[in-house]
Amino acid sequence: MRPRWRKVIADWWSNLSRFILVTLSLMGGLFSIGIIAGGYVTTLEDMESGFKAISPSDVRIRTEAFDQSLIDYVQSLEGVVAAEGEKMLFAQLQTADGEWQDIIIRVLPEEEQQINLVELLEGRLPQEQEIIFDIHRTIDYGIGDQVTIQTAAGQKRQLQYTGTVRDQTIGTLSGSYFVAPVYGYIAYDTLPWLHQEKHYEVLLVTVDPQLSAEDYKALKDDLTGLVEQSGRYVFTITDLRNNDHPNSGYVRAVSNLLALLGLLSVLLSGFLVYNAMAALLAQQMQHIGILKAIGARQGSIIKMYMVFIFVFGLLALIVAVPLSAWSAQALGQFLGLRLNFRAGDLRLVPFALVIQTVIAIILPQAAGIIPILKASKVSVQEAINSTGIQIDEFGKSRLDRRLEKIKNIGRPLLISLRNTFRRKSRLVLTLITLSLAGAVFIATFNVRASVEKYIDKVTAYILADVNLDFDRNYRINEIEAIAKTIPQVVLVEPRSAATAQLLNDQGEALETVEIWGTPPDSSTIKPILLDGRWIVAGDRNAIVLNEAFISNYPDLQVGDIINFNIKHREISFVIVGFFQFIGNDFFLAYAPIDYLNEVSGNRHKAANYQVVADVSLVEQDREEALARTLDETFRSAGFSIRSASTSKSIRGNATLGLDTMTFFLLIMSGLTALVGSISLTGTMGMNVMERTREIGVMRAIGATDRQVMKLVLIEGVIIGLISWFIGVLLAFPISYLMSYIINMSIFGVTGEFSITINGFIIWLGIVLVLSVIAGLIPANNAARLTIREVLSYE
Amino acid sequence: MDTGNREAMIEVRNLVKTYYTGGKPFSALRSVNFSISANEYVGVIGKSGAGKTTLINMLSGVDQITGGEVYVNGTAVHALGDDQLALWRGLNLGVVFQSFHLLPMLSLLDNITLAMDFCGTYRHGKSEKRAMALLDSVELADHARKLPAQISGGEKQRVAIARALVNDPAVILADEPTGRLDSATSETIFRIFDHLIARGKTIVMVSHDRTLADRVNRVFNLEDGQIISNGGEEL
Amino acid sequence: MTASLTPSHGQGALIEMNQVGKTFYSASGPFQALKDIELSFYRGEFVGVIGKSGSGKSTLVNMITGIDHPTRGKVFVDGIDIHAMPESKQARWRGRNLGVVFQFFQLLPMLTLAENVLLPMDFCNMYSPAERPERAYALLKMVGLADLAHKLPGSVSVGQQQSAAIARALANNPPIIVADEPTGNLDLKTADSVYNRFTALAAEGRTIIMITHDPEIAGRLTRTVTLKDGEIINQSSVKTLTPAGNTTNDQGDVNR
């Protein structure tokens, strides 16, 4: 081997610990980029291909009871690939300790499943009097156990638990996968055992993927017409064509945030390479001088150090590629379980590999080239005689001159302050990582606040203590009378719902709208009004519309007449106001309950009741008790009750999903904080190393260890404070962006934006602690240096 | 092309070096002229700050010349670029420093072969053989695999001299080569230089030690950047 | 600070080195940098410690400043065994009693000349905070730098930097000044003014210990101590610049 390479190896060897650290950090950067890029690609691929494989329904029509003959007929239509019937039961499952938990039971079709396939993971598909469960919620039982189901009508039935499946459609229709209840699946033939009629209520259709958008729309209209002509009322028709896996939004959101973290770690590793090289070269200045003195040209020196750096990248790459591929797969498995998809096998993702290679080769070289070029240009004379305090760049920039004007703060503090700004490029790099970390941290709190504000809005429409949901309409008087027998109940407010079609002037259907009937001046709704007013006493055909109408039909005004098709009748309403609900893509309206019931043929009946209890019932468990009492009372009286839930538990469910997200975000910002503090420690270490001579001088003229330590610590704190300040400014756009992404992926709406002071204050505390810790090691080292070491020139 | 006085091994004309510290000029050398013949042994004597190190740096081209001309062995040093200088220096000059300047991470042998590596003068197998021969000539062949930290100061300087001789240069420049050595060790080093003169080399040695005058053929007394007396030659 | 008489050597030495030896251990074996040095310094002396590089002169002075510890022997400064002090205490003691002047000046580059002079007073909490700027200015004026007080070291000449470094060494009014090759990087004229300054300071009753490798300045010194290979090979007799009984207002007294 040529001796110059022996020198390169010796340099590696003699700085081993530092370079292992740099290689590790580079590896960390490459690893995170690899896992993010690889994980993103494989997860989305797996989700997409997995979701396609279950033949998800393109059209979903909820209507009145039908049987196989309608299905067969639909199947024969041109453009229809498959049609299938479905039925959903709302029931309760007894837990091991005797409580009841909500369960949705999907009735599998009589024929073999063709649409929305469930994937059998364990055991076997259910036969008569058997049930299988989806894996997304753990239940208290294992395969082979007998489980007890309580139907809406209150009958209790034993079923045999025979298998576990994955149902990727959970979360497609309502709310989010994370707050969905337990899903069970039974055979069509089990329906009578649960006292249910053998029929379907939902028609699922898949269409030819080649179908043009117009043909598809025509087919959809044909389907609706067909069902209506058969004498059945169409409650809802849902278009699911082009829908992704219901949870793909989460992956996108998570990946966006992770990409930010990956970027940070790459930035940090580049920074560390730069730092390490700058330190090494400062230390090897004399060597470079000697090399030049004995005949080395600038090119050979640059080459030597570049090869030196190349080793970092190569080593990091060799370890990071397989490790990240493996981890991406493990992440996929984990996410598959959490996000309800089937993760694929271990594989190398070319996209991730290319990114990693480019970063591994280019980044260290780019980071190192600056100090290398600088060092290689130094004249032999300067390099060999690098002694004494370097009269450096301080005093040249405008900032420095401004700093010079700050005087009346005592010299030691002055030194810290001016030292902070001596190495400007290094300071900028540190500030970038630390500020970004801070901004992400602060944003986490703001995102949470934003989502909470959003949830607040939703719950403003369900202020009652208990929400009673029946399986069908009951007479309002009857329900009220029974509810009032429970002493705590103060008020029972009915709600009825009707599905309607918004009509244009020509009488053509435009949108499906859900209209809720409410008593006027309801005390259980605190509407957020955008215009006009709420439903008040004396209103008859008044209607209040949500913001979806404003954004889709901006011409609509308060006072306008609006027409709907309700149960095949055209009904006119007068718009009295607009309210804000949870998003733009969901048409919702409120109308006086009496009028709505009248036009939908349900006079004096309702399926939903809002129960308000005595004000003293403030604690959640007492509300829960009331909900249970109501549930039992109505069930034993023979009412078919779907659920009796407290508003707080509804809110709690939503918060549960939010907590998952917040936890993830906090981990992420914790990591960025770690990244930031590593870079701060690196900077402080470099600063102190460069100034060992100055520190020696200060000690020679009377500074004690404590004073020297204080100088270094204060410098760290100054950097921390500056980064906090920048982080605060950055937190606003980042919070906005993250809130947008999270809201979009959880609720599918732009949602709300809110700022909370907490994140700012907590981060200030953390950054102060971090900067003290980051300064502590270098400060300690600085204090330990003996003056002789510092002042000796060789 | 003007190559200076063909008789002279080193020819210096109107050499000026000015440093700028804090924006203020400081003249380290003010118009220095001299000429050194082949196989001369010249001592440059002066106090710290007199400009003697600056002078030797100008001859070796390790520092930028502000004005004037320097010819060494027929090469116009002042006209060479940084990279040309490095190669030229490696091939034509042996430089010996006060603080040895061996690379601490390389063995004595590697320190010597490294110089051949950069100049590409000897093939790898041969360069090692030559390095061993050179180490042998300074009586350090037994220590060839040791690191610089494992030998004494005097031994380090002998290795540095061996390194300066790798490419068999005609001129050797030495900056206080015994400045860090005790009296007895210094003697050994001086004997090596005497031996090199006997082999026909040209040596320029810098020192603040007046006793150097007794060892060399000719003395330049340097004070405040000027030669105030130049043994044997008219100024 | 009480004004006291400048003692001659008859009244006892200010600095006493008793059998001080120093051995460095390195990979090439032990190296005796100092061999049992027995040496005293008195008030009003301007002593040159002369020797080549490697003779042990810097090591000897490091023993007096407490910058390095002796392997054997003791060093007393005004009766205090300085190497028995813990390091943190030593720093404060050094700041108050020793003014150090370095070969490369070692001014802190991010502080102005005035701030550099103020620093030792801040570190050692000497003089009231209100007095300090006045004193710094007076010291800079004394070394002829009044106009440059608010300049950064990088923007003044090396001679001016060394003058500022001397002003800094005097900040806490120390009785002892140690200078390591203070003129090594200065031209002759500037070096001359530095010597004059030291002579004046010795005349005030301070003890100046200067490391140099230049035997020619012996004429400017009250005494020379010549070192070779860690031993004193030559020493001239003691004489001080200040006649006994002469009092000055700004003279060093050992600060406790």
Spell out the domain ranges in chain B.
Answer: 39-52+81-230
Distances (CA, A) of B56 to B26, B176, B207, C104: 18, 11, 11, 21
A252 and A341 in a single domain? The answer is yes
Last residue within a domain, chosen from A386, A413, A446? A386
Closest-CA residue to A446 (of A646, A662, A591, A629): A662
Amino acid at B9: M
Measure in Å the smallest separation between the Cα of B163 and chain A Cα atoms: 9
Which of A104-108, A172-176, B175-179, C210-214 has the lowest average pLDDT? A172-176
Whether chain A has a CB inside 8 Å of the CB on C111: the answer is yes
Q: Is the pLDDT of residue A323 over 50?
A: yes
Amino acid at C98: L
In contact, A115 and A85? CB cutoff 8 Å: no
A354 and A248 in a single domain? The answer is yes
Q: Least CB-CB distance to C156: which of B22, B147, B223?
A: B22
Smallest CA–CA distance from B161 into chain A, residue: A294
- Are the beta carbons of A296 and B106 separated by less than 8 Å? no
Average pLDDT over residues C69-98: 86
What CA–CA distance (Å, rounded) separates A245 from C118?
Answer: 71
- Are the beta carbons of B87 and A10 separated by less than 8 Å? no
Angle between helices A647-690 and A424-459 (to 10 degrees): 180
Q: Where does the pLDDT of residue B174 fall: very low under 50, low under 70, confident under 90, or very high at 90 and above? A: very high
- Is A734 within the bounds of a domain? yes
A355 and A497 in a single domain? The answer is no
- Are the beta carbons of A394 and C87 separated by less than 8 Å? no
The pLDDT tens digits of the residues spanning C184-226 come to 667 777 778 888 888 888 888 889 998 887 777 777 888 888 8
Q: Least CB-CB distance to A295: which of B63, B99, B118?
A: B118
The pLDDT tens digits of the residues spanning A566-608 come to 888 889 999 999 988 765 567 889 999 999 998 888 888 888 8
Q: Is the pLDDT of residue A390 over 50?
A: no
The pLDDT tens digits of the residues spanning A434-493 come to 888 888 888 888 888 887 887 777 777 777 888 888 888 899 989 988 988 888 888 899
What CA–CA distance (Å, rounded) separates C87 from A699?
Answer: 10
Closest-CA residue to A171 (of A116, A212, A219): A116
- Is A320 within the bounds of a domain? yes
Q: Which residue has the higher pLDDT, A414 or B70?
A: B70
Number of B to C CB contacts under 8 A, please give it: 58
Residue C1: the pLDDT is 34
A512 and A579 in a single domain? The answer is yes
What CA–CA distance (Å, rounded) separates B123 from A291?
Answer: 19
Q: Tell me the average pLDDT of chain A.
A: 82
ipTM above 0.85, yes or no: no
A677 and A612 in a single domain? The answer is no
Q: Least CB-CB distance to A7: which of B22, B63, B106?
A: B106
Which of A52-56, A97-101, A389-393, A663-667 has the lowest average pLDDT? A389-393
Residue A243: the pLDDT is 75
Whether chain B has a CB inside 8 Å of the CB on A299: the answer is yes
- Is A215 within the bounds of a domain? no
Residue C6: the pLDDT is 39
- Are the beta carbons of A394 and C109 separated by less than 8 Å? yes
Which of A167-181, B72-86, C20-34, C70-84 has the lowest average pLDDT? A167-181
In contact, A151 and A194? CB cutoff 8 Å: yes
A457 and A501 in a single domain? The answer is no
All residues at 6 or more sequence positions from A775 whose CB lies less than 8 Å from its CB, including other chains: A680, A681, A684, A712, A713, A715, A716, A717
> Taking CB atoms and an 8 Å cutoff, what residues of chain A touch B55?
none
All residues at 6 or more sequence positions from C236 whose CB lies less than 8 Å from its CB, including other chains: C218, C223, C224
Per DSSP (E only), the strands in A604-707 are 605-613, 641-646
Whether chain B has a CB inside 8 Å of the CB on A14: the answer is yes
A46 and A73 in a single domain? The answer is no
Average pLDDT over residues A634-638: 84
- Is A230 within the bounds of a domain? no
What CA–CA distance (Å, rounded) separates C89 from C78?
Answer: 16
Q: Where does the pLDDT of residue B193 fall: very low under 50, low under 70, confident under 90, or very high at 90 and above? A: very high
In contact, A435 and A730? CB cutoff 8 Å: yes
Q: How many CB atoms lie within 10 A of CB C171?
A: 27
Q: Where does the pLDDT of residue B207 fall: very low under 50, low under 70, confident under 90, or very high at 90 and above? A: confident
Q: Is the pLDDT of residue A652 over 70?
A: no
A344 and A366 in a single domain? The answer is yes
Q: Least CB-CB distance to C213: which of B49, B153, B208?
A: B208
> Taking CB atoms and an 8 Å cutoff, what residues of chain B touch A14?
105
Last residue within a domain, chosen from A386, A407, A435? A386
> Taking CB atoms and an 8 Å cutoff, what residues of chain A touch C104?
387-389
Taking any CB pair shorter than 8 Å as contact, residues of chain B touching chain C are 21-24, 26, 47-49, 98, 147, 149-153, 179-183, 208-209, 223-224
Measure in Å the smallest separation between the Cα of A396 and chain B Cα atoms: 12
- Among A409, A416, A701, A709, most C C-beta atoms within 10 A, so best to mutate, is A701
A670 and A715 in a single domain? The answer is yes
Length of chain C: 256
Q: Is the pLDDT of residue A404 over 70?
A: no
- Are the beta carbons of A788 and C62 separated by less than 8 Å? yes
Residue A793: the pLDDT is 41
All residues at 6 or more sequence positions from B168 whose CB lies less than 8 Å from its CB, including other chains: none
- Is A714 within the bounds of a domain? yes
In CATH terms, B39-52+81-230 corresponds, of 3.30.499.10, 3.40.140.10, 2.60.210.10, 3.40.50.300, to: 3.40.50.300
Chains adjacent to A (≥3 CB pairs closer than 8 angstroms): B, C
Residue A189: the pLDDT is 92
Residue C247: the pLDDT is 37
A733 and A656 in a single domain? The answer is yes
Rg (alpha carbons) of chain A, rounded to whole number: 34
Q: How many CB atoms lie within 10 A of CB A35?
A: 23
A471 and A609 in a single domain? The answer is yes
Q: Is the pLDDT of residue A103 over 80?
A: yes
The per-residue DSSP string of A205-237 comes to EEE-TT--HHHHHHHHHHHHHHHHHTT----EE
Q: Least CB-CB distance to C122: which of A412, A418, A791?
A: A412
Whether chain B has a CB inside 8 Å of the CB on A794: the answer is yes
Domain count, chain A: 4
- Is A233 within the bounds of a domain? no
A149: domain range? 63-210
Residue B41: the pLDDT is 93
Q: Is the pLDDT of residue B233 over 50?
A: no
Which of A670-674, A722-726, C76-80, C197-201 has the lowest average pLDDT? A670-674
A471 and A537 in a single domain? The answer is yes
Which of A121-125, A278-282, C26-30, C96-100 has the lowest average pLDDT? C26-30
Which of A280-289, B50-59, C69-78, C234-243 has the lowest average pLDDT? C234-243
Reported as half-sphere exposure (CB side, CA atoms, 13 A), residue A594 has a value of 8
Smallest CA–CA distance from B29 into chain C, residue: C187
Q: Least CB-CB distance to B63: which of A296, A299, A381?
A: A381
